[in-house]
Amino acid sequence: MEISSILLARAMAWVEPVDLNQNGSVYYPDLVKALVARYNFLKVPQKPEDFDESKGVVFAGGKLGNVVIEQLIIYTFGIVLDTRVSTQESQRLLDEAFTWGSKELGLTYKPGMVRRWQYGSQVTFRSAARLDSRSPFQQLAENVSKEVKKVTGETHNYEVAFASIDYDQLTRKHPLGRFSIQRRDNTPFSENKYYSDAPLPTDVHIRLLEQFEAELLK
């Protein structure tokens, strides 16, 4: 398996922004100026309605050192940071931002305030393995191909193009994402290129894909 690109590496810290600003002394416009000065964000909240945490206060197109920050979003119950490096790097940057904010802006932050982390990982990769290898779906795909030829007179080799693993979304108030693998959009099957999405750290996501490919190729 060859990783083509990391499209998203998201880390979300479950911590309420009001807890980071316990006495309300940090003024949002001042926070915007400080974040722009440190991270050079190209998109920042400007209008009063942009500061609605229930919808997400969005900062986008930033950079620190050699790491591009796709976006930083402040929600009522958590804060999200996206890069295209790894979820580990996104988490590091977010944790570092909390520490910086406590020193420079007067935020109230102590280690342990983030009770849990949540992740999102999206990658594209190339693999010679077919998703329907070694499964009843392979036979189903062959049967569908035969029946379509009878109807149209044309030969089209059907195969599984999307696979998804999910859980009962109603068992959790804030749902986690599903694990999915699919053929890359607008890409011929012959290029063997796939897209995968997972609610996991980047390294774990890639390791599971490698294990899955190894099973298919046995």
Is residue 159 scored above 80 in pLDDT?
yes
Q: Do 109 and 164 have their domain in common? A: no
pLDDT value of residue 133: 81
How confident is residue 111, by pLDDT bands cut at 50, 70 and 90? confident
pLDDT at 172: 83
pLDDT computed for residue 203 by the predictor: 98
**In this predicted structure, which of 81-85, 128-132, 192-196 has the lowest mean pLDDT?**
128-132
The Cα–Cα gap between 133 and 131 comes to 6
pLDDT at res. 29: 92
Q: Decide if 2 is inside a domain.
A: no
Query: 132 with 212, same domain?
Result: yes
In the listed set 91, 118, 145, which residue is the last one of a domain according to the structure? 118
Query: Which alpha helices (H) appear in the chain, and where do they start and end?
Result: 17-20, 28-39, 87-104, 136-152, 202-217
Range of the domain at 192: 122-217
* Pair 104, 17 in one domain: yes
Among the candidates 88, 118, 148, a domain finishes at 118
3-class DSSP assignment, residue 82? strand
Say whether both 21 and 98 belong to one domain. yes
**pLDDT recorded at residue 209:** 97
Global confidence as pTM: 0.91
Give exposure, 9-20, as e/b (b: 16+ Cβ within 10 Å): bbbbbebebeeb
* Position 134 confidence tier, pLDDT thresholds 50, 70, 90: confident
Considering 49, 84, 118, which residue would you say is the last residue of a domain? 118
